[in-house]
Amino acid sequence: MVLLLVLILYIFWRDYIRKPAHAPAQVDGGPLTIWDRSPVPDRGRIKALGYTIIGLYAISVTGLYFFWYKKTRLNKFHWFDDRKEWNQIDKAGHIYGGYFQTVWGYELLRWCGLSNKQSAVIAAMLGISIQSSIEIMDGYSSKWGASYSDLEANFLGAFIAASQYWMWEEQRIMLKSSYEGGDYPNGELGERSRELFGTDSIGRRLKDYNHITLWASVNPSKFYPGMYPEWLCYSIGYSAENLYGGFENKWIDKDGNKHDRTDLPRLRALNFSLDADLPKLSKGSKAELAVFKMMNIFKVPFPRYQYKWEADKVVNPNPNGWGREE
């Protein structure tokens, strides 16, 4: 995946940076501003984007190492089958990650002046490579392992975004996330939640699988113009509850004590709600529209209806209680 990222940056340099391309000073009768998409490939913007991607990627990987991997022992590279872990909430998260990184990449590439199809393909490659490079660190960690199913989920998320740009030049079915938060009870479960999901807000937002919902929001007005409000979306989401271990609610704490909370049913839930397509609420400001596009990966809070059921029991491949979540 790192080699794929290098290849993408080389294509940028070969086709757009090495050969000067100048955008005209006028767009739709007015001066080109920083908020406008360039009508042709703009060398300066592409260089700035390339350097920004490299810098943010380096910062993100370094932060992720200190936040997630620093306390784990390194091992030789290995794979781990986690398809049945965490009621597949983490798989939904990988789909979402590949999706929104592709969407953001697409908007930035269009801003640089690339065509719709060029932007869709390159953004998908960026989304897949950046998201999947995490598997390299997972593969060398003794507590985790690289996952084929994670790679498949990353690809699926990027494909969902890129295919819509190819078909419609817009996102009509948007993947979004929400984090409901919530406190855990004191005592055994509270201690376990802090061990698994951390205590800071960023860590909980990424890892608290009991309070994360991944949504698919459909904007019907993009399929049937004039029949619905332009901003209105219908959403269906997936979430889970009572997850205190990757495969089962049994674990061994740091003092060697065994805990068995299989009395708590591990639940799956389908969520039905409304949502807003934020760019459709923009009132003409180019800066506002850009911010709304960036924020459109998060679901707007609306009441929800939930249908819950108990998840199928799975066999823990680590019967002594040690697993990826430890």
Label each residue of 83-129 as H, E or C: CCHHHHHHHHHHHHHHHHHHHHHHHHHHHCCCCHHHHHHHHHHHHHH
47: pLDDT strictly greater than 80: yes
Sign of the alpha-carbon torsion through 97, 103, 107, 109: positive
Residue 323 pLDDT:
41
The pTM (predicted TM-score) of the whole model is 0.86
Q: Where are the beta strands (DSSP E) in 204-282?
A: 212-218, 232-241, 250-252, 258-260, 267-276
48: pLDDT strictly greater than 70: yes
For 119-166, how does the pLDDT look when each residue is reduced to its tens digit (9 = 90+)?
A: 999 999 988 988 888 788 777 777 778 888 999 999 999 999 999 999
Amino acid 48 reads A
221: pLDDT strictly greater than 70: yes
Question: How many beta carbons lie within 10 A of that of residue 99, not counting itself?
Answer: 31
270: pLDDT strictly greater than 80: yes
Q: What is the DSSP letter of 280?
A: G
| Greater pLDDT, 234 or 20 | 234
Residue 322 pLDDT:
41
SS3 215: strand
Half-sphere exposure of residue 6, counting CA atoms within 13 Å on the CB side? 3
SS3 11: helix
**Token reading at 23:** 């955008």
Question: How many beta carbons lie within 10 A of that of residue 231, not counting itself?
Answer: 16
Mean pLDDT score across all residues of the chain: 84
Residues in the chain, overall count: 326
321 pLDDT band, cuts 50/70/90, is very low
274: pLDDT strictly greater than 70: yes
